[in-house]
Every structure is written in structure tokens, then in C-alpha cells.
Structure 1
């Protein structure tokens, strides 16, 4: 998702690996959102170590996604950086070293590197491409509240509620769940309002909270239904991103 709304651009540079930002600030959310490191520079450093490119590069990151929002923005930035550097330095996108770097950066970075709809198993870095939902209208909504992933996991009861059910793709999605939603709701009750708006929207196929929150997402039958829900969320002052599944 981050590669849709944020763009790490790479260009040749005279010396070293340079990083800059192309906008003054990302969308703001209220609450504490501790910074755990810069995944863009971590990805760039790992790329340089693995591939030893003969030319230098500069990276400009335009950040448009809210932070601490449960949509893996930093991980997607890291993956987009790897893709951009590979393109700049002539590394094939299928080079297995890119996946190895991604897996070391974070469990969800390989899925972001794939840049398509996938099922992640194990830690999340064993990927299976999913067919049949490409092009489905998708809406992300964040109510403007930062939710700490660490705090959500601390609140979670730790109970294993079982694996994703078997069956066809949409059926599995409909029967699936997010075990972190209840603890996230305890920290940010406004998530329930977002879910209600999405669950009751006309033409919705399914909605869920994303990651550890507070962003929620919904799939829709048509772009028109998605856009109507987008307008309703924006009327509440919430951040939205209307797109489609890859």
C-alpha cells in the first residue's frame, strides 16, 4: 500500500547513499508513535552490502501514509526502496537476495516486495500468490489515532484461535478474523466507529481492521460503492485511501 501513496525515488548521486524527504510531513495522527529506526536507510544499506553497486544513489521519500496506523508503511517503504535500487542498478527483480534482505528487515517486508496480493505463512515471509481478487475496489480508513503495536500485543490475551480456514479465497477471507482487533479497540474505541461505517456501507464485501490498527479496510463490489464510502469517511475528517487490490 505504501508504494501507492508514498514513493521512494532513486537517482544516481556523486558520492555515497543520500536520503532526503520530498514533503514536509506525513499525515498526522494523535498519540505517541515511537520511532524504531529508518527502514529506508536500512534497506539501502543492506542492498549496498549485498550487491556492492559500482555507482552511488540518492533516495527521496515522499511520505503520505499516517504513522503507527497498522498498514506496514515503513515495511512497504523498505520494499519499494529495494525495488527502486534494483531497477537503478540493473538487478533483476527476481534475484533471491532481494527476498533475503526483505526477510531480515521484517516479517512483512517480503509481501511488500512482492507488491501483489499474497498469503503469508510462517512468520509471514513464506508467500503464496493469490489469484481472483485483483482489481477489487479497496478502501483504507484511519480515524486519526495512533495505536502502538507494542501496546496492542501487551493487551492481547495471547489465545490461539486457530488457523485461517480452508476453502475458496473469498470464503477464507470472510471467515477470517484479526485477533488484535479486541485489544486495539480497548486502546482506541473509535475503531468501532470505522468498522460500523464500513460494515454498513452499500456494496461492501468485507471489512476488517488492518494489522494492529487503527486503520481499517474494506473490499467493495464496485468502484462507485467504494467512492461513496470514501466520501462518508472523509465527512468525518478521517484519512482515506481509495485504491484496488493488486
Structure 2
């Protein structure tokens, strides 16, 4: 059996810088990954199958539309494997869960079948976040997801991830975005936690305001994080998950406990962010 983690992707910033003629949006984003996430295991089999378990399995499509099965078919059409996916992340939550699962499937199945990974252009057909999810290192992601570049070492970071249990369709958020030609991120420039938060505070998530218009509960979650003294609170991806940054694990864990006590219906997790 080959096992792979599928860490949650967190867009610490997400600038929408344009839209191509084919209507794909151009992005500029600082992407990091959390220690928490889904897990995937693969075993040899004559047929390709997918079983889904875990606390967040409800609502995840088990059929050929699932990105895990699409990734397997891309890598080796007709090849068999038994794939087991343990879902710990909310579905369609702005944490790249499906993309992280597809990336983990590509990594695991390439080992199982002794095959090279497909080219990035082909991987992109699975989704803009799949190439960046092939690595758990902080990266700057630009274009439609094909342009990945290293960033300076990220200081130790702790996050509280909050999802108010609302589903936010990505298409609706982009349609509500009034300006699709926004400035790119500033050049990455930090050397410790304070300078990192200062730099990040000058960046944006251009999808946050339209997402709040679609799902006001996102604004409630952001306000709650700010009340817990998060050094920065922002939405990840197209929502609905929000994050608050903390300098220490103790601070993040205390904030998560307080938020869950106040909002027991929310999905709340404290986690380190993977900085290298």
C-alpha cells in the first residue's frame, strides 16, 4: 500500500489580475499548506475503484467526475488500482481539497505504476490548483496556475481555519467580482513573523468581498477571527473557509477552542502551516 497526504491549501493572498479571451482568470497568489488535510492510499488491483470515508465524506462525488479518478485516468487510462480517500477537509471550501486529493493521487499512482507525472499543461486540465498542490512548499502561483515560483523562507506560522458550513460556488463569486484587472502582489519581502504579517497585510484576496456578498456568513467568520486577536484574518481561495494567523501554537489553539465554543456548528481547526 502506498499512502499520500493531501494537505489543505491556503491562499494567504489571491489577486485577480486579468481574464483571458478563453475566460480563464489570471491570478497571483501566495500559497501555503497546512499540516491538516485529507489522506489517500492506493493498492494494486485489476480494476480502478475509489472508496471515500472520513468525517467530511458526505457530498463528495464517488464517480468518474471525482478529480482523483480523473487524475488516475489521465496518468494511465485503463490501469487498475484500489484508491481509498479519507476526507478531513470540508468539500468546496476554498482549501483546494479536491485538487490536493488529485495531486496526492498522481503522486501515489505514479509510484504504484512506475510512471512519470504528466506535463503541467495536462495536469492543469484537472484544475488550476492541482500543479501547486503537487508540492507542499510555499509558492507564488500566477497565470492560470501554471506559473509557480519559489518565495523567501516563510517564518513559523500557525493558523486557525474556520468554515461557517456554507457552500460558495466559485462561478458565482467570480461573476460577482466587479473588477477583474487588479494589481499583482508586491514582491515577496520578509524575514520574520512581524515583517511577514506586515507584507501580507498589504496584499489582498480580491474574491473576498464578492464572496461575502454571496455568503454573508464569511464576513461573520472573519469578524470572529479578528475578535480572537488574529494578527491577520482573510478568506482563502474563493471561500468559504477563512484563516487567522497567529505567532504561536498556543495562541492558535486557544482561539480555535474559543471559536468552537461560541460557534459549535462551524468547522474550526488550529494547525501549523508548512513553511518548507
Structure 1 and Structure 2 fold alike (TM over 0.5): yes
The corresponding residue for 1:78 is 102
The corresponding residue for 2:141 is 120
Cα distance in 2, alignment partners of residues 107 and 70 from structure 1: 12
**Which of the pair is proportionally richer in strand?**
2
Relative to the length of structure 2, the TM-score reads 0.75
> 1:168 aligned to 2:189?
yes
Quote how far apart the aligned CAs of 1:174 are.
1.9
Quote how far apart the aligned CAs of 1:146 are.
0.9
Write out per-residue CA displacement over residues 4-60 of structure 1, whole angstroms, 9 at most, x where no aligned residue: 3211210111x12221123475367xxxx9x993101000101114xx87xx42101
In structure 1, which of residues 200, 219, 223 is the aligned counterpart of residue 245 of structure 2? 219
Quote how far apart the aligned CAs of 1:122 are.
1.4
If asked which structure has higher relative contact order (CA below 8 Å, sep 6+), I would say: 2
CA contact (8 A) 1:205 1:219 kept: yes
In structure 1, which of residues 12, 22, 40 is the aligned counterpart of residue 68 of structure 2? 40
Cα distance in 2, alignment partners of residues 183 and 163 from structure 1: 18
Structure 2 gaps, min length 5: 1-6, 9-34, 191-195
Greater mean deviation of Cα atoms: 15-24 or 106-115: 15-24
**Which of the pair is proportionally richer in helix?**
1
CA RMSD of aligned residues (A): 2.6
Cα distance in 2, alignment partners of residues 44 and 134 from structure 1: 35
User: CA separation of 1:214/1:114 partners in 2, compared to 1, >3 Å: closer, same or farther?
Assistant: same
CA contact (8 A) 1:146 1:214 kept: yes
> 1:18 aligned to 2:49?
yes
> 1:200 aligned to 2:227?
yes
CA contact (8 A) 2:235 2:242 kept: yes
Secondary structure at the residue paired with 1:173? helix
The corresponding residue for 1:133 is 154
Secondary structure at the residue paired with 2:95? coil
Cα distance in 2, alignment partners of residues 48 and 96 from structure 1: 10
CA contact (8 A) 1:134 1:244 kept: no
Secondary structure at the residue paired with 1:178? coil
Q: Write the mapping of 1:141-152 to structure 2, written as runs, cut at 5 A.
A: 141-152=162-173
In structure 2, which of residues 235, 257, 261 is the aligned counterpart of residue 209 of structure 1? 235
Quote how far apart the aligned CAs of 1:98 are.
5.7
The corresponding residue for 2:37 is 5
Quote how far apart the aligned CAs of 1:89 are.
2.9
Cα distance in 1, alignment partners of residues 48 and 273 from structure 2: 33
Secondary structure at the residue paired with 2:88? coil
Greater mean deviation of Cα atoms: 17-26 or 171-180: 17-26
Relative to the length of structure 1, the TM-score reads 0.84
